[in-house]
Structure 1
Amino acid sequence: MALLTIVLWTTLCGLLAGLLLVVALLPSRYVKHSPASKESVVVQVLVLGDIGRSPRMQYHALSIARHGGSVDLIGYHESPPHPDLLTNPCVKICPLAPPPKLLRSRSIPFLVAGPSKVLWQVGTLIWVLGYQTKPARWLLVQNPPSIPTLAIALVVSVLRNTHLMIDWHNYGWTILAGTKGRSHPFVEISRAYEIVLGQAAPTANVTVTHAMARQLKGDPYSIKTPILTLHDRPASIFQPLDSLADRRDFLEKLPETRNLAPNIISGQTRLVVSSTSWTPDEDFGLLLDALVAYARDPSARPLVAIITGRGPQKTYYEERMRELRDSGKLPNVRVFTAWLSMEDYATLLGCADLGICLHMSSSGVDLPMKVVDMFGAGLPVAAYSKYESFGELVREGENGCGFETSDELAGILARLFSDRGAEELRALRNGARKEGSLRWDEEWDRVLGRVFGVID
């Protein structure tokens, strides 16, 4: 506890020093925004994460730029971003310097590494938001992560006369609770911090679900500033793939499916796709258990599962997959992991028979973007369903199926991939196409276009 106290005081002092530095130096960068044409609207879009793995924030940037606004897209530049961002003259990517490798090492205790990373992030955020970019009319910040993003964003927005909008994807403290436990002191601190900054910081808020908006309006958040709901919608890159020739060409090119392409095209072998960040809030073991149960039925059709994404638990589960394969528990089932470009991932979804989502909401009121992408490609889903906002995206029997256990998922696979399930799978695919027909641009224009001032 003594060490915790020291670390907390160090963090607080560092944050205070950083904020004082901003207060001392930033006023000279203050500008007054006058009513102007939409071409002069400047928006800073901030994500304290990898830009390439933050599709919603990338889509915000593209929507603003599509209407002539200028965007500074700020975040870590680790994986390739959306290709349109790289060619759009209205978008400037402003990379944040990542923390030193020493602070990312697992050999350093969390009580030391966590606050140290926060101090590093304070410095880099102040530098990029306050000095490398010009004052903006709006600062749109993703939450989570909330520490130190919300505090720095609030101070910078006040000193630079910028309107601050928080895009609530989830709650940082509930994610932290999933790894540290609900009673951990840092979880309590994170929760209090997020509540206070949520009440004090924004000019406006946007949420991914109606359920989250209702929660933010009530206790303990009690946010009084406007809260809008902008459901995630697929970008134009995700499209149904109807051409058999195009499907065949792609499957023959992809290493994981090259030798199986004819059987997948004919329907003799079924193809399922799941995207995961390999984190504890997605129990990949549930899918493996379901595949083992599915494979026990000798009449079950051969199945190929491709799992895309990167994350901390990937190596662990790859070892489990090897053990299951070597022990003969996955006959007629082949599981591959892959890291694909956005274009190839979108095409893979268009080639698949079913998408699988293992997202387990830490807050109960967020939604997985990966399901939206699947619908954009006309791909029905089987998704973990035990959280409040599930029905805002997946409608049972219309565009997908929900499950809570591995046996339920195995049952869905067996039913949909049987001869008797062909009609049901076809109906779900039609429902997925219908759901995916409403695109991000339409939804964004309706909800946020006038708020940012890029639409009359």
Structure 2
Amino acid sequence: MAASIVALIVLALALGPLLFVWRARRWPRGRSVCVVVVGDVGRSPRMQYHALSLARRGFDVTLLGYSGSKPHDELLSNKKIHILHVLEVHLIPVGPRVFQYVIKAVVQAVLLLYALLLKSPPVDYILLQNPPGLPGIAVCWVSCFLRGSKLVIDWHNYSYTMLGLTHGFAHPLVQLAKWYEKLCGRLSDLNLCVTNAMREDLAKNWNIRAVTVYDKPASFFTNTPLETQHQLFMKLGHTYSPFRARAESLDPDFERSAFTELNPRSRKVTQLDGRPALLVSSTSWTEDEDFSILLKALERSADLGVCLHKSSSGLDLPMKVVDMFGCCLPVCAIHFQCLHELVKHEENGMVFMDSEELADQLKMLFSEFSNSDNRLNQFRKNLKESKQLRWDENWEQTVFPLFTHTQGVWPKT
């Protein structure tokens, strides 16, 4: 009797995984996607845009990642999108650094696999943001294998190059990360990337075919109307003196900020002659959420943006410049390998090599600021006339056809 029980237990242990695979692969489902971010969902705008675009096209979307920053309101209110949070794992301050990384990766892998297999519903596709790819790529591939899903990797950059900024590119941990990323990246069914330069690098060095999907501004990135700008400047003037009027209006009933003036009778807002220029240098990684909202509001009202983003791989582009261009805001951006795919020097902004060149550009641009035909206005005009695609239009053309391929054969690029 005991032997029979033991035999049954062994049989169950042996057949259990096989039965799970069989059941998962035959689980009835419609068009569904799990968008995976091994990071703060609220600080991953591109993946939020993917989720919204998929939901608008009728996909049921599970957005899986860490809690933290608030995602976009439209995403939170969409009934086709379910946000599933995973516990964030931090390094434990015990033992050598390599040991800490290993423990973190193992715990992350267990938590992520648990969420994908037991908390998330079965899906047709898993769309994974990379980086970070360790352990995300391998874990998502295992989940896809067990559930019969397809794995799509969206390459924003390389994990190993980001790790190399901290440890140096010759460090064994960085070399191990590169080997892992190159090996596991080939397990995917489809790859997206952010630049043509990255697409070519993936094909040449890693034998991975990818489709370039440029970051594009969402529809809500537009110029702020003068009336709204005035309200913002007046509000900021209560706390920050640079936004207050430098001189009182001749008519005491007029309301002034440092940049604008409101005629109380016509309710018309105009920009002041001789107003100062407003320069914004912002980042998506602001810790204070209220300050981040303020920066977004200011960049829609600014005259010039400055970007100091330098890619660890030289193959990705700064999304803040994409957002600024969505507001028709010209930029001065520091040069790196593939920046020309976004910033066209002397057309929609300027590119500089160092602080000295940036200083010269700022002097030149603002010395002619009072002229109506100044270079900043010309850059802004060029941005308006370029009729740049928005995220939704670009996604419909490049990504949606890939998710609706009916023959199960992914396009070759």
Q: TM-score, normalised by structure 2?
A: 0.82
Residue 169 of structure 1 aligns with an amino acid whose one-letter code is H
Residues 7-22 of structure 1 mapped to structure 2, 5 A cutoff: none
Match of 2:21 among 18, 23, 27: 27
Matched with 1:446 is 397
- Alignment partner, residue 154 of structure 2: 167
Q: Which amino acid in structure 1 is aligned with residue 191 of structure 2?
A: N
Letter in structure 1 aligned against 2:222: Q
Does residue 259 of structure 2 align to residue 264 of structure 1? yes
2: CA distance between counterparts of 1:441 and 1:374?
A: 17
Change (3 A) 1:161 1:369: same
- 2:226 alignment counterpart: 244
The answer on 1:213 being equivalent to 2:164 is no
Aligned residues of 1:206 and 1:229 also touching (Cα < 8 A): yes
- How far residue 276 of structure 1 moved from its aligned partner, in angstroms, is 3.0
* Alignment match, 1:416: 365
Partner SS, residue 163 of structure 2: helix
1:361 aligns with 2:311: yes
Identify, as 1 or 2, the structure richer in helix.
1
199, 207, 211: which is aligned to 1:222? 207
Q: Say if 1:271 and 1:353, in contact at 8 Å, map to a contact too.
A: yes
- Counterpart pick for 2:376 among 412, 418, 425: 425
For residue 250 of structure 2, what is the aligned residue in structure 1?
none
The whole-number CA distance in structure 1 between the counterparts of 2:41 and 2:275 is 39
Deviation at residue 341 of structure 1 after TM alignment? 7.0
One-letter amino acid of the counterpart of residue 252, structure 1: M
Q: How far apart, CA to CA, are the structure 2 residues paired with 1:136 and 1:430? A: 45
Q: Which has the higher contact order (CA 8 A, sep 6+)?
A: 1
The aligned residue for residue 8 of structure 1 is none
Instruction: Please say if 1:234 is aligned against 2:228.
Output: no
Q: C-alpha displacement at 1:432, in angstroms?
A: 3.0
Q: Does the C-alpha gap of structure 1 residues 112 and 252 become closer, same or farther in structure 2, counting only changes over 3 Å? A: farther
> In the comparison of the two structures, how many residue pairs are matched?
365
Distance in 2, matches of 1:268 and 1:137, equals: 55
Of 354, 360, 384 in structure 1, the residue corresponding to residue 334 of structure 2 is 384
RMSD: 2.6
| 1:143 to 2:135 alignment | no
Alignment CA distance shift 1:137-1:421 (3 Å) = farther
Q: Percent identity?
A: 39
Could you tell me which of 55, 59, 76 is aligned with 1:69? 59
Identify which of 90, 106, 111 aligns with 2:80: 90
CA distance in 2, matches of 1:121, 1:395: 41
Candidates 117, 120, 130, aligned match of 2:117: 130
Secondary structure, aligned partner of 2:151:
strand
Inter-partner Cα distance in structure 1 for 2:45 and 2:151:
20
- Secondary structure at the aligned position of 1:142 is classed as strand
Seen in structure 2, the aligned counterparts of structure 1 residues 122 and 358 have a Cα distance that, compared at 3 Å, is: same
SS at match of 2:164: helix
Residue 69 and residue 123 in structure 1: after superposition, are their counterparts in 2 closer, same or farther (change >3 A)?
A: same
Greater shift in the superposed pair: 341-350 or 399-408: 341-350
Q: Does the residue aligned with 1:74 lie in a helix, a strand or coil?
A: strand
- Equivalent residues of 1:346, 1:377 under 8 A apart: no
Q: CA deviation at 1:144?
A: 0.6
- CA deviations 1:78-124 (Å, max 9, x no partner) are 00001111100000001111125xx366x875323222211221111
Seen in structure 2, the aligned counterparts of structure 1 residues 121 and 235 have a Cα distance that, compared at 3 Å, is same
Alignment of 1:20-59 (within 5 A): 26-27=20-21, 29-32=23-26, 40-59=30-49
**Contact 2:277–2:369 (8 Å) recurs in 1:** no
Could you say if the C-alpha distance between residues 240 and 152 of structure 1 is closer, same or farther in structure 2, counting changes exceeding 3 Å? Answer: same
Q: CA deviation at 1:191?
A: 0.5
Indicate how the Cα distance of structure 1 residues 24 and 413 shifts in structure 2: closer, same or farther if over 3 A, else same: farther
Rounded Cα–Cα distance in structure 2 between residues aligned with 1:258 and 1:439: 36
Determine whether 1:397 maps to 2:346: yes
AA of the residue aligned to 2:303: D
Rounded to whole Å, the distance in 2 between the matches of 1:213 and 1:383 is 23
Between the aligned partners of 2:290 and 2:319, the Cα distance in structure 1 is 17
| SS of residue matched to 1:417 | helix
| Shift, 1:179, TM fit | 0.9
Aligned counterparts of 1:368 and 1:149: Cα–Cα separation in 2? 23
Equivalent-residue separation in structure 2 for 1:70 and 1:401 (angstroms):
42
SS at 2:300 equivalent:
helix
Where does structure 2 lack aligned partners over 5 or more consecutive residues?
1-13, 245-256, 261-271, 407-413
In 2 relative to 1, CA 133–339 (structure 1 residues): closer, same or farther, beyond 3 Å? Answer: closer
Residues 279, 304 of structure 2: 8 Å contact kept: yes
| Aligned match for 1:203, one of 184, 189, 193 | 189
Alpha-carbon distance in structure 2 between the residues aligned to 1:148 and 1:403:
37
Q: CA deviation at 1:244?
A: 1.9
Question: Which residue identity lines up with residue 30 of structure 1 in the other structure?
Answer: A
